[in-house]
Chain A
């Protein structure tokens, strides 16, 4: 059982992010970390490989400046190896450009039975890359998985819905996006951390993938960010003093918001 997990490396959400006024995109010059959303996919992949009694987890990531910090975290958790695509030509890639790159990278992993992603990233959160990757690879796509089981050449997924979940089955290989919070991602152990040091990270360029620079980056982007604006400053809240009728005021307030 070989599982590929797409992991995005993103600016640390603990540090306030900033948009570049000229490119209108998120500044990504600092150190990047593993997107927490993807740690669930990594954990699920590791559990699936263990349950299958063999195989390995391969990471695929596209990130600027040869960034490997986030990959190291996932390797320390137990993934076996990683493919990193990093190339100046990728700057400005939109979701489809990203999906093209990821799809090409995934094709290089031999015998991949299952491809996992998060449902959406924490910084871009268009939530479109997984389906685009599946489309490009011509694979079935299942979204919002909260539980995954592999049975021979079939994957059985509990697919989260607003009302509960659907039981979905589809043939492997397939692309499945994993909902955040559905498993408890393991913390890297000391042995895992030391082992990660010698795990292979294959760093590739756009040309290595057989893609043309015009298909990715600013050049290939079909989407344009037209303008960016400051989010409106948070307005001062309303203070309700409890004189014994506070609950009525709160109910009226919520009613007014139409949340009741």
Chain B
């Protein structure tokens, strides 16, 4: 068993860290405040190939894996600039096109994704969140095109992306009543597609939208994977999304603990720095333990996904990593806020503004409850209630 990080991974961390540190949390907050996007940071990272580390080399990618993408995701977040769109654009869309795309599709979409283009991912619907079998957005074949009808909701970054990957229903499995799914790459400005932003309390620069598909025409050549085989395709993309989601949480956790420990070493209320009080130190130490445990599981999940040896191991580890990291990241942030006392609430200290995002990561991309269901059923063979 080998836990030491390779020189390449160390260099990758260092390079991403330096680029992101050049922007920093203040840049991030400034964009949130003024409704901007993180284009400068995104481009700086994209130009160095960091969003395409896992994509095939023949299409402009780095030829590595989700292990490396998770490093990118974590390091940017650890500088106080968590990039939610890595999860959908690079992790899901990039990985799925690389794995299931035809040669033409890969040549068409991967070189952009390997640099700084973004692609949104649309699966959630008002009446089908955690339950993808119930998706009701339909795609109906009509000659050389499909026509999409339905509604998607909470779709991140549609305004920043030229294209998005949309999960639709193309049929029904007579035996189970479950939808048979197909995926399409859809232009975000396609005629018949309208969107309305959903105001949220999360202080992050990405916007979520409700999307209305009113007979949106999509060329059949934009279908990713076989017709009706979409569930398998989607499930393949969920592990990278969970792993990078976990890495995002872990990065936020590291950022928060760095701030908290620096503060607790300096701040004196009585005669010693507050970090000397066990009431302050122990919760930080405990958060650190949870954080490092979750990072181990992230590394295992990414390894399992990249080696592609056993999908069950990858699925279990990705879910556990997502669960553990989301909890740890939030605990780190919350403990860091507590250690800052009143300053924890001040914008100047750059903690409280990350709370919404850290909290979100316990709900999305997959909720804690659905992960507990997964572990109960898959790992412990317990019966299901739903």
Do A and B bind? yes
- Residues on A close to B: CB < 8 A? 68-69, 72-73, 76, 187-191, 193-194, 196-197
Task: List, in ascending order, chain A residues with CB within 8 A of B11's CB.
Answer: 72-73, 76, 188, 193, 196
- Residue B48 is within 8 A (CB to CB) of chain A in the complex: yes
Q: Contact check, A194 vs B7: say whether CB atoms are below 8 A apart.
A: no
User: In the bound complex, what is the Cα–Cα distance between A13 and B11 (angstroms)?
Assistant: 17
For B63, give its contact among A187, A194, A196, A197 (CB under 8 Å).
Answer: A194
B49 touches A187 (CB 8 A): no
B7–A69 touching, CB < 8 Å = yes
In the complex, 15 of the A-B residue pairs with CB atoms within 8 angstroms, ordered by the A residue number, are: A69-B10, A76-B11, A187-B18, A188-B11, A188-B48, A189-B49, A190-B12, A190-B48, A190-B49, A190-B62, A191-B49, A193-B8, A193-B11, A194-B63, A197-B8
9 closest A-B pairs (Cβ-Cβ)?
A190-B49, A189-B48, A190-B62, A188-B15, A193-B11, A187-B15, A190-B53, A189-B49, A187-B19
Query: How many Å lie between the Cα of A225 and that of B17 in the bound state?
Result: 37
B19 pairs with A194, CB closer than 8 A: no
A105 CB, min distance to chain B CBs, angstroms: 22
Is the Cβ of A73 less than 8 Å from the Cβ of B14?
yes
Which residue of chain B has its CB nearest to the CB of A193? B11
CB within 8 Å for A194 and B14 given contacts A187-B19, A189-B48, A189-B49: no
The number of chain B residues with a CB under 8 A from chain A is 19
Given A72-B7, A187-B18, A190-B62, list of 12 further CB < 8 A pairs? A72-B11, A188-B11, A188-B14, A189-B49, A190-B49, A190-B50, A190-B52, A190-B64, A190-B68, A191-B49, A193-B8, A193-B15
Q: Write the chain B residue with the least CB distance to A189.
A: B48
Q: Inside 8 A of B10's CB, which chain A residues have their CB?
A: 69
Q: How far is the CA of A243 from the CA of B371 in the complex (A)?
A: 62
Which residues on the B side are within 8 Å of A191 (C-beta)? Answer: 49, 62
Question: Which residues of A sit under 8 angstroms from B18, Cβ to Cβ?
Answer: 187
In the bound complex, CA of A174 to CA of B71 (Å): 42
Docked complex Cα distance between A77 and B362 (Å): 38
Interface hits, B1-25 → A, CB 8 Å:
7-8, 10-12, 14-15, 18-19
**Which chain A residue lies CB-closest to B60?**
A191
* Closest B residue, CB atoms, query A33: B14
Contact: B62 with A194, CB < 8 Å? yes
A188 to B19, alpha carbons, bound, how many Å? 10
The smallest C-beta distance from A35 to any residue of chain B, in angstroms, reads: 14
**Distance between Cα atoms of A87 and B12 in the complex (Å):** 29
Chain A nearest CB, measured from B12 CB (Å): 6
Interface of A is mostly: helix
Contacts of B14 in A (CB 8 A): 73, 188
Question: How far is B53's CA from A69's CA once the two chains are assembled, in angstroms?
Answer: 21
A38 CB to closest chain B CB (Å) equals 15
Bound state CA distance, A96 and B54, in angstroms?
Answer: 47
Is A187 within 8 A of B48, CB to CB?
yes
B334 to chain A, nearest CB (A): 27
Which residues from 68 to 83 on chain B have a C-beta closer than 8 Å to any C-beta of chain A? 68
Q: A125 CB to closest chain B CB, in angstroms?
A: 23
Q: CA of A76 to CA of B8 in the docked complex: distance in angstroms?
A: 9
Which of the listed residues A76, A190, A197 has the most CB atoms from chain B within 10 Å of its own CB? A190
- Taking each of B11, B12, B50, which has the highest tally of chain A beta carbons within 10 Å of its own beta carbon? B11
| Closest chain A residue to B7, Cβ basis | A72
In the complex, the chain A residue whose C-beta lies closest to that of B18 is: A187
In the complex, the answer to whether A76 meets B49 with C-beta atoms within 8 Å is no
In the complex, what residues of B have CB within 8 A of residue A194's CB? 8, 62-64
CB distance from B226 to the nearest CB of A (A): 32
Q: What's the minimum C-beta distance from A209 to chain B, rounded to whole angstroms? A: 26
- List B contacts of A196 (CB < 8 A): 8, 11
Nearest CB in chain B: distance from A234 CB, A: 15
- Separation in Å of the B57 CB from the closest CB of chain A? 9
Q: What's the minimum C-beta distance from B322 to chain A, rounded to whole angstroms?
A: 25
A248 to B100, CA, bound (A): 73
Residues of A within 8 A of B62 (CB): 190-191, 194
Residues of A within 8 A of B52 (CB): 190
B35-71 contact mask (Cβ, 8 Å, vs A): 1 or 0: 0000000000001111011000000001110001000
Given the complex, which residues of B lie within 8 Å of A187, measured CB to CB? 15, 18-19, 48
Q: Which residue of B lies closest to A191 (CB)?
A: B49
Residue of A nearest to B14 (CB): A73
Closest chain B residue, CB of each to CB of A76: B11
How far apart sit A189 and B47, CA to CA, in the bound complex (Å)?
8
* Residue of chain B at shortest CB distance from A188: B15
Distance between Cα atoms of A245 and B332 in the complex (Å): 46
* Alpha-carbon gap, A190 to B55, bound state (A): 12
Residues of A within 8 A of B53 (CB): 190
Q: A186 — nearest CB in chain B belongs to which residue?
A: B48
Q: Which of A68, A187, A197 has the most CB of B within 10 A?
A: A187
A76 touches B15 (CB 8 A): yes
* Cα distance, A187 to B14, chains bound together (Å): 9
What's the Cα separation between A196 and B47 when bound, in Å? 18
Question: Smallest distance from the beta carbon of A76 to chain B beta carbons, Å?
Answer: 5
Q: Bound complex: CA of A76 vs CA of B10, how far in Å?
A: 12
A257 to chain B: closest CB distance in Å? 28
In the assembled complex, the CB of A171 is this many whole angstroms from the nearest CB of chain B, namely 37
How far is it, in angstroms, between the C-alpha of A194 and the C-alpha of B7 when the chains are bound? 10
Q: Which residues of B contact A190 (CB under 8 A)?
A: 12, 48-50, 52-53, 62, 64, 68
Give every chain A residue within 8 A of B15 (Cβ-Cβ). Answer: 76, 187-189, 193
Q: With the chains together, A73 CA to B56 CA distance in Å?
A: 24
Q: Closest CB-CB distance, A43 to chain B, in whole Å?
A: 14
Per the bound structure, the CA–CA distance linking A99 and B235 in Å amounts to: 60
Q: Which residues of B contact A69 (CB under 8 A)?
A: 7, 10
Determine the chain B residues whose CB is within 8 A of the CB of A73 once the complex forms: 11, 14
Instruction: Name the residue on A nearest B6 (C-beta).
Output: A197
Instruction: Report the bound CA distance from A197 to B6 in whole Å.
Output: 10
